[in-house]
Amino acid sequence: MENKNIILDIQDLEVRFEVDGEIIRAVNGVSLTLEKGKTLGLVGETGAGKTTTALAVMHLVPDPPGIISNGNILLNGKDVMGMSKAELEKIRGKEVSMIFQDPMTSLNPVFTIGEQIAESLEIHEQLSRTDAMKKAKEMLELVGIPGSRASDYPHQFSGGMKQRVVIAIALACNPQLLIADEPTTALDVTIQAQVLELMKELKEKYGTAMIMITHDLGIVAEVCDEVAVMYAGRIIEKGTLDQVFNNTLHPYTEGLFNSLPNIKDRKSELLPIPGLMPDPVNLPVGCAFEPRCSYARAECSLRQPESRMVSDHMVCCSAYDHPDFHIKRKGGKYVE
């Protein structure tokens, strides 16, 4: 039964924010499932709703002004939406952990990093202070930081090392699901590579399922088994890495690939996607991508496209009502 293997099941999630009388529709009907041990890449531009979706999984969407207006989130079969505060506090950091984008601000400046790791252990594993500190030092070693530095403060570390500490905190209690929200965006490229390597190793060692939120397709190719592409609060394409990269279906996804500079073809023009993502306060009636889509037809602006299976994976595009439709990008492995 697949059921036992599914760590996360999100069904029709809708999240909106009410600010100053306006309604910001951040997440508009997101559904996805993730199996244990697998890594899902959640891809999209800034503002697509990725972080909000992730926060919703841990019920961390700030309320006010955020409201989860619809949807079910089942973590290991348990309904997150229905949990009490105490239950939520129990699963956060223990069954599901999250690491955030900016390591510079994620650590509390007035506590040592050892204390910050140990706190997680004290809460969830009921370890004593001394035992927790010991384990904290082990975690530090695991992420490549000497255990003796456990009594140092965050300001004494560089960005890359801070992010390692954040990873150590997140993995201290061996969560089954790790949500990483653009963990390397704020880091230098070389450090980026190191941190990614580290995450891959730990993921394999512990069998942790992971959601990797990123706008960088390169990272997706490195680390992910599955990919879900988000646009304006919806998942517009979803499949395995191979399916999405080599059998791209959605015009937006195609646009993302096209806007990557091709180092082998220096003379060709960069093809950015024209226009901007729609204002989440003012979403159009029809397909949200239609104004920027080079394949758009009249009916695209009239109604929401439905998600459907096309060839081997899911896509959300009305153009596929026409059985002959295909986008230009076809096949070819993704070349670094």
Partner 1 sequence: MYRYIINRLILIIPVIIGVSFLIFAILDQAPGDVVHVITGGGATQQEVEALRAELGLDRPLLVRYVDYMKGLLKGDLGKSYISGRSVFEVYTERLPATIKLAFASIFVSILLSIPLGIYAAVHSGKIGDNISMVAALLGLSMPNFWLGLILIITFSLQLKIFPSGGNEGLISLVLPAITIGTGLTATLTRITRSSMLDVIRQDYLRTARAKGVNERKVINKHALKNALIPIITIIGTQFGNVMGGAVLTETVFAWPGVGRLIIDSIHARDIPMVTGSIILKTITISIVLLVVDLLYAAVDPRIKAQYSKGGS
Partner 2 sequence: MSTANSVKPKEQKKYSASKRYQKRSQGAEIWRRLKKNKGAMVGLGIVAMLAFIALFADIIIDFETDVIGQNISQRMQLPSRDHLLGTDEVGRDVFFRLLYGTRFSLSVGIVAVIIALVIGVVFGAIAGYFGGAIEEIIMRATDIFASVPHILMGIVIVAALGASTLNLMIAVGISSVPQFIRITRAAVLTVRHAEYVEASRAIGLREASIIFVHIIPNCLSPIIVQTTLRVASAIISASALSFLGLGVPQPSPEWGSMLSSGRQFIRTNSLLTFFPGLAIMITVLALNLLGDGLRDALDPKLRR
Chain residues binding partner 2 by CB under 8 A are: 22, 268-269, 271, 274-275, 278-279, 281-282, 284, 290-296, 328
Nearer to partner 1 among residue 123 and residue 260 (C-beta): 123
Look at residues 257, 267, 242, 256 and name the one whose alpha carbon lies nearest to residue 289. 256
CB distance 233 to 201 below 8 Å: no
Kindly state the smallest distance separating residue 159's Cβ from partner 1, in Å: 14
Binding mask 154-173 for partner 1 (x = CB under 8 A): -x----------x--xx---
For residues 149 and 297, which CB has a smaller minimum distance to partner 2 in the complex? 297
Interaction between residue 123 and partner 1 (CB under 8 A): yes
- By CB under 8 A, is residue 113 in contact with partner 1? no
Nearest CA to 52 among 35, 27, 76, 22?
27
**Which residue lies nearer to partner 2 by CB, 130 or 268?**
268
39 binds, among partner 1, partner 2, none (CB under 5 to 8 A by kind): none
Residue closest to 163 by CA, chosen among 207, 127, 126, 197: 197
Residue 100 interacting with partner 1 (CB under 8 A): yes
Residue 123 interacts with which of partner 2, partner 1, none, CB < 5 to 8 Å by class: partner 1
Binding mask 46-75 for partner 1 (x = CB under 8 A): ------------x-x---------------
DSSP 10-31: EEEEEEEEEETTEEEEEEEEEE
Exposed, middle or buried by CB within 10 Å (0-12, 13-18, 19+), for 310?
buried
What's the closest the beta carbon of residue 245 comes to partner 2, in angstroms? 19
Give the one entry of partner 2, partner 1, none that residue 295 binds, where binding means its C-beta sits below a cut-off of 5 to 8 angstroms depending on kind.
partner 2
Contacts of 317 (CB under 8 A, 6+ apart): 236, 249, 250, 251, 287, 305
Evaluate whether 305 touches 318 at the Cβ level (below 8 Å): yes
Q: Which helix (H) or strand (E) holds 313?
A: strand 313-316
229/244 Cα distance (integer angstroms): 9
Under rule CB under 8 A, residue 119 binds partner 1: yes
CB 273 to partner 1: min, Å = 30
Number of residues that bind partner 1 (CB under 8 A): 31
Between residues 3 and 126, which has the closer beta carbon with respect to partner 1? Answer: 126
Please choose which of partner 1, partner 2, none residue 91 contacts, taking the beta carbon within 5 to 8 angstroms, the exact cut-off set by kind.
partner 1
Among 47, 49, 66, 93, binds partner 1 (CB under 8 A): 93
Q: Is 98 in the site for partner 1 (CB under 8 A)?
A: yes
CB 163 within 8 A of CB 156: no
- 254 SS3 class: helix
- Token pair, residue 60, equals 């961390």
Residue 126 zone, left/alpha/beta (φ > 0; ψ -120 to 50; rest): left
The residues binding partner 1 (CB under 8 A) are 58, 60, 85-86, 88-94, 97-98, 100, 102, 105-111, 119-120, 123-124, 153, 155, 166, 169-170
